[in-house]
Chains A and B, each alone.
Chain A
Amino acid sequence: MTGQEGSEYDRLFYPFLFAGGNASAEEVLAQVRHSTREKCRTVVALRRQTLEQYGDIMVAAATAMASAIRSGATLFAFGNGGSTTDAQDLVVDLMNPPLPDCRPVPALALTNDIAVVTAVANDVGFDNVFSRQLIAFAHPGDIAVGISTSGNSNNVLVAFEQAKKQGLLTVGLAGYDGGKMAHSRTVDFCITAPSADVPRIQEAQATAYHALLEAIFTLLRAEHTILTKEQHP
């Protein structure tokens, strides 16, 4: 790569690539070390900004989610690509909580069954792969969590529309400016990691949903304690 080729991103993050000439191993390693530290600084700042801007919404979302779970909700999680793995991670953390003294919560990732995903995508369209499963599985009072770094993934937005029709609580995790998700009336709580850097968005979103989980488990534990005391005065 030479001269003026490459994206703005590349020029921003890898300026030495456009300097021309052959860099030595030491020079390239030094640049990679520098980039590593820069990326850490970026995600640290983004995490701080996400909590500052969306802390109140996260508290409200966790409270609503814990309340729905106490009433018997199942949580459905979905997203594309890396966001799929975050959806699956959220489900694992609910079904098999890694924190002490947490009761398992019923949850299902809508990306696991490749037979269903490919069947719907092939027969109807990729926009419907999550909404179709909500039609099959979801009940009023359940929870839908959709993850999209752009906030504009069509299949996630379509699933939120379907979820609202069926009376679900809807929670979105987005990046950039929140995209369509931030303005959709079908999303009750939208938590946005305000950045255009996709890896950093995902890393900040991971902290956000982990914080949501800890808050939810704390609320469920408190309620459990209250019930126990009332039953055994």
Chain B
Amino acid sequence: MRATTTTETDLQALMQARFDRTIAVAEAFFAREDERIAQACWAMARRFHRGGRLLACGNGGCATDAQHVAVEFVHPVIVGKRALPALALTNDSALISALSTGGSSGVAFARQFSVLAAPQDIAMGFSPDGHCPNVLEALWVAGSKGLLTLALVGADGGPMATAGFDFCFVVPDTDPFVVQETHETLYHVLWELVHVFFEHEGLLT
């Protein structure tokens, strides 16, 4: 029975290990990806400048990331930043359940891109391992309509890493919490730094 008892020291070690892991992953990720992040900010700024909107989707915890990135753009917490149109495709439980009847849950996001999206829009899809078929399908539909496509994935990126999206950011870790925390910094940075390009109108056309 002693072997199964979890002590305070065990919990402290567990928390230290979790913090150490997410810190190491973030440091390596942002050191490696800074150039592509800057390019993605610029591409997104050009889309917004043309009247585009950000449409975001994901499943489970990733649905909350889609909603989080949307609220950052619509209601910037940094005073003076302009509101930009962004929508999570996960919000409307009536619509999602309508599109999921008969077990066809795979179409819920793809259908919204198909009906709602305009070519100048931006599609952002989240997946902890790149293996979410409905997010993959949604971004594929979005890309075929001319949207800018961004995938934020984890682990080895799965099929989403090789799907030919405009930007696929892979956080190479198998812990879904670590992947999500690094994604959160990534989409915060994308949101914060998209605004930098609005100060340079000449770069937006």
**A→B interface (CB under 8 Å):** 1, 6-7, 9-10, 13-14, 17, 22-23, 25, 28-33, 35-37, 39-40, 43-44, 47-48, 51, 55-56, 58-59, 62-63, 81-82, 84-86, 88-89, 92-93, 96, 98-99, 112, 149, 198-200, 202-203, 206-207, 210-211, 213-215, 218-219, 222, 225-226, 229
Q: Report chain B residues within 8 Å CB of A33.
A: 34-35, 37-38
Cβ-neighbour of B22 out of A47, A62, A63, A92 (below 8 A) = A47
Q: Report chain A residues within 8 Å CB of B30.
A: 36-37, 39-40
How close is B34's CB to chain A, nearest CB, in angstroms? 4
Task: Tell me, in angstroms, the Cα distance from A82 to B187 when the chains sit together.
Answer: 12
Task: Tell me, in angstroms, the Cα distance from A203 to B180 when the chains sit together.
Answer: 10
Q: Report chain A residues within 8 Å CB of B176.
A: 98-99
Stretch at the interface among B66-74, B101-109, B116-124, B160-168: B66-74
How close is B177's CB to chain A, nearest CB, in angstroms? 4
> Known: A37-B31, A89-B64. Is A14-B196 also a contact (CB below 8 A)?
yes
Cβ-neighbour of A85 out of B31, B34, B64 (below 8 A) = B64
Give the total of B residues in contact with A, Cβ under 8 Å.
60
> Known: A32-B193, A33-B34, A203-B188. Is A44-B180 also a contact (CB below 8 A)?
no
- Whether the Cβ atoms of A9 and B78 lie closer than 8 Å is yes
- Whether the Cβ atoms of B5 and A92 lie closer than 8 Å is no
Q: Report chain A residues within 8 Å CB of B128.
A: 98
Task: Tell me, in angstroms, the Cα distance from A86 to B60 when the chains sit together.
Answer: 12
- Whether the Cβ atoms of B41 and A32 lie closer than 8 Å is yes
Given A199-B189, A222-B5, 17 more pairs with CB closer than 8 A: A7-B78, A7-B80, A17-B196, A17-B199, A25-B42, A28-B203, A32-B41, A33-B34, A35-B196, A40-B26, A40-B30, A56-B12, A59-B12, A98-B176, A149-B77, A199-B185, A226-B1
- Whether the Cβ atoms of B6 and A222 lie closer than 8 Å is yes
- Whether the Cβ atoms of A81 and B65 lie closer than 8 Å is no
> In this assembly, does B181 line the interface, its C-beta being within 8 Å of a C-beta of chain A?
yes
In the complex, what residue of chain B is closest to A201 when comparing beta carbons?
B77
- Whether the Cβ atoms of B26 and A199 lie closer than 8 Å is no
Cβ-neighbour of A98 out of B26, B38, B177 (below 8 A) = B177
> Known: A36-B37, A206-B184, A210-B177. Is A58-B15 also a contact (CB below 8 A)?
yes
- One digit per residue, 1 when the CB lies within 8 angstroms of any chain A CB and 0 when it does not, for chain B 130-159 equals 000000000000000000000000000000
Q: Which 10 A-B pairs have the closest CB atoms?
A: A40-B30, A199-B188, A85-B68, A210-B177, A32-B38, A85-B64, A89-B64, A33-B34, A225-B4, A98-B176
How close is B35's CB to chain A, nearest CB, in angstroms? 6
Q: Report chain A residues within 8 Å CB of B184.
A: 202-203, 206
Main secondary structure of the interface of B (DSSP, over half): helix
How close is A85's CB to chain B, nearest CB, in angstroms? 4
- Whether the Cβ atoms of A214 and B185 lie closer than 8 Å is no
- Whether the Cβ atoms of B18 and A210 lie closer than 8 Å is yes
Q: Report chain B residues within 8 Å CB of A56.
A: 12
Task: Tell me, in angstroms, the Cα distance from A66 to B11 when the chains sit together.
Answer: 12
- One digit per residue, 1 when the CB lies within 8 angstroms of any chain A CB and 0 when it does not, for chain B 1-33 equals 100111010111011101100110011011100
Task: Tell me, in angstroms, the Cα distance from A189 to B180 when the chains sit together.
Answer: 24
Task: Tell me, in angstroms, the Cα distance from A84 to B95 when the chains sit together.
Answer: 21
Q: Report chain A residues within 8 Å CB of B71.
A: 81-82, 84-85
- Whether the Cβ atoms of B15 and A55 lie closer than 8 Å is yes
Task: Tell me, in angstroms, the Cα distance from A62 to B34 when the chains sit together.
Answer: 36
Q: Report chain B residues within 8 Å CB of A202.
A: 68, 184, 188
- Whether the Cβ atoms of B193 and A218 lie closer than 8 Å is no
A-B contact pairs, 6 of them (CB 8 A): A37-B31, A39-B189, A51-B15, A59-B8, A86-B68, A207-B18
Q: Report chain A residues within 8 Å CB of B78.
A: 7, 9, 198
- Whether the Cβ atoms of A29 and B39 lie closer than 8 Å is yes
- Whether the Cβ atoms of A6 and B80 lie closer than 8 Å is yes
> Known: A7-B80, A36-B38. Is A62-B185 also a contact (CB below 8 A)?
no
- Whether the Cβ atoms of B12 and A55 lie closer than 8 Å is yes
